[in-house]
Structure 1
Amino acid sequence: MDRSEPRPEDRHIPVMRDRVVDLLAPGIEAARAAGRAPLALDGTLGMGGHTQALLERFEDLSVIGVDRDPHALAMAAERLGPLAERLVPFHGTYDEVPQALAEAGAEGLDAALYDLGVSSYQLDDRERGFAYSYDAPLDMRMDTTAARSAEDLVAELDEAELRRIIRRDGEERFAGPIARAIVRAREQAPITTTGRLVEVIREAVPVSAGATGGHPAKRTFQALRIAVNEELDILERAMPAALDALHVGGRLVVMSYHSLEDRIAKRHLVQWATSTAPPGFPVVLPEHEPVVRMLTRGTERPTEQEIEENRRASSAKVRAVEKIRVSRTTA
């Protein structure tokens, strides 16, 4: 790395670091009590900030660090230094828990963290094309080896599919006009940069909408990023995959940054925390008992001080559960 550039640890402040570690800690302690070497999963390794905090607190802990971005795996290893000896890197997506465990030669987990969304360094890397605030190639791939970019989606999807994605994944009320504007604009010339896409969106969205809804391109960029990286589909698979991999007493923490992610996390966690016995049934059989115990009431949010130190933490929501009986939610 060019030493004129800031080090990874200087550019990244892990969101709610101490609270996340505190929530996961009892699962790690339970493994010790059972005579087992504790193992955690950081399903979204990024620059390794949360993993670093875990490895520093627990000297016998190993962490499987999952990330689809090869550059992130390299940066995290550099950040961790000697601690990286207890990191098992896995290049893939966070729904691939069985594969990650197999590569680590492990059977189960004692703690798992999903810190969702795009990482800070990806947002800051202009060539990645995640941000609408400056002109860059229209890419948005978290895994730079993946085949399809945002440019490909904008160029290839028909108007109906563009409208569906922008409405569903961006919750954008002007999805129809934006989709039509994209199709018209690409007939004149390919849309290959974030700056050009922003221009197209500005022309489609009423000026008055910006007074209350923030930047007019915000939701469309979110929708394209989610679609390019299949984020919601992966999260749907990742939730049960993590639960099934946890030992009884293990803990799962999910940190989301927008309502679509949080709804998925909430739905799974509430379902697992609820008895499946028929209402009024006199005896609840073990297989109908809840699988998890809620550790958070609703969601927990960053403190004002944390938001002051890291503005990107402002939208974070944390949910956490402890596994209380054996489960099998996936086929």
Structure 2
Amino acid sequence: MEKRFAHLSVMAEVAPPMVVTNPDGTYVDATFGRGGHSRRILSLLSPEGRLIAFDRDPQAIESAKEIDDKRFSIIHAPFSHMREELSLKNVDRVAGVFMDIGVSSPQIDDASRGFSFRMDGPLDMRMDTSCGQTAAEWLASASETEIARVIHTLGEERFAKKIARAIVQSRVTDPLVSTQQLAKLVAQVVPANKKDPTQNPATRTFQAIRIHINSELDELSQALEAAMDLVEDGGRIAVITFHSLEDRIVKRFFDEKAHPERRFDSRLPLRASELPAPELTDIRRILPTEEECAANPRARSAILRVATRVRTGRPA
């Protein structure tokens, strides 16, 4: 039986109303987690409305069984596959797509999942424990160069090369199989953060390896493209992110779709009517309130970005 871990969905009162523009429509919660946002979306739908959720975590799929609502269904698949999975259900248009990016509190707080350095557990880090390579398996086989690249690029860690060298040297006699092993090894190489002494030296390394193991940034990019194909004219795409790499992808994607004319040289003799029409409009950036951040520390780094899909040419 799954252990219970408390989870407060970030911006659960703010984000769903931004997505639901038509109570009778079909919506997608692309990251079900433990269902906080899904339940709020369902509360905003009419009896004719419909919510289809996605998650690649088997524990999340199991948790979804608690929702006894004929308007709700869930699919065990990465959100990057939403277009193909919905096609199998003869759904090619939806009224809105919501995404809450990153690891959830139950995943972090469950030592057996291997996401956190705070507790000792197997070095797993897979969001879908039914398939794929674990963090331990990757660290046992990846080259020093590859490990350094991942930690530097995805963790923005200045000491990535030193960490990679220590991992490769250590695994010869002491393979890394637990979270505490990795955390202690990194702590021997990375000096304490002078700006924030409370930050664990392994924070950036764990983040980088988790993102790599789950291909999180590629998944996000693919999911955004899928959402663009699915959302109907006037419908919305809403995304909550928790660190700069994710937010940068969403911000750039929304900006490019809202301003496709920027791809053209302004010196070209083109009329405004000859430029491509925007595919997104009414872009908003929303931060959690001070009250929510005080009640739920995980909300402090959250950014909600919302955009409206445009399929009928230039908005008025």
**Alignment deviations for residues 8-54 of structure 1 (CA, whole Å, 9 cap, x no partner):** 7xx2221101211221122x25xxxxxxx511111111111111001
Q: Check 1:268–1:208 CA distance in 2 against 1; reply closer, same or farther (3 A cut).
A: closer
Give percent identity, aligned residues only. 36
Question: Secondary structure in 1 aligned to 2:8?
Answer: coil
Q: Which moved more, 1:158-167 or 1:119-128?
A: 119-128
Measured in 2, the distance between the counterparts of 1:120 and 1:126 equals: 11
- Give the structure 1 partner of residue 255 of structure 2: 270
- Give the structure 2 partner of residue 175 of structure 1: 160
Q: CA RMSD in A?
A: 2.0
Question: Secondary structure in 1 aligned to 2:235?
Answer: strand
For residue 12 of structure 2, the aligned residue among 17, 20, 45 is 17
Question: Secondary structure in 1 aligned to 2:210?
Answer: helix
Give yes or no for the alignment of 1:43 onto 2:38.
Answer: no
- Give the structure 1 partner of residue 279 of structure 2: 291
> Any unmatched runs of 5+ in structure 1?
30-36
Q: Which moved more, 1:279-288 or 1:225-234?
A: 279-288
Give yes or no for the alignment of 1:222 onto 2:207.
Answer: yes
Question: Secondary structure in 1 aligned to 2:80?
Answer: coil
Shift of 1:210: 7.6
Measured in 2, the distance between the counterparts of 1:45 and 1:200 equals: 34
- Give the structure 1 partner of residue 294 of structure 2: 308
Q: Which amino acid aligns with 1:136?
A: G
Question: Secondary structure in 1 aligned to 2:73?
Answer: strand
Indicate conservation of the 8 Å contact 2:16/2:41, yes or no: yes
> Any unmatched runs of 5+ in structure 2?
none
**Alignment deviations for residues 34-76 of structure 1 (CA, whole Å, 9 cap, x no partner):** xxx5111111111111110011121232111110112101102
Question: Secondary structure in 2 aligned to 1:40?
Answer: strand
Measured in 2, the distance between the counterparts of 1:282 and 1:236 equals: 30
Q: Show the 5 A alignment for 1:1-331.
A: 6=4, 11-26=6-21, 28=22, 37-59=24-46, 60-78=48-66, 80=67, 82-83=68-69, 85-207=70-192, 211-212=196-197, 214-276=199-261, 279=266, 283-285=271-273, 288-296=276-284, 299-325=285-311
Q: Which moved more, 1:162-171 or 1:208-217?
A: 208-217
**Alignment deviations for residues 72-122 of structure 1 (CA, whole Å, 9 cap, x no partner):** 0110231x2x22x22221111111122221233212111101100011111
Q: Which moved more, 1:272-281 or 1:178-187?
A: 272-281
Indicate conservation of the 8 Å contact 2:20/2:44, yes or no: no
If each structure's helix is expressed as a fraction of its own residues, which one has the higher value?
A: 1
Indicate conservation of the 8 Å contact 1:63/1:87, yes or no: yes
**Alignment deviations for residues 216-252 of structure 1 (CA, whole Å, 9 cap, x no partner):** 0000000000011010111111111111111101100
Q: Which moved more, 1:191-200 or 1:91-100?
A: 91-100
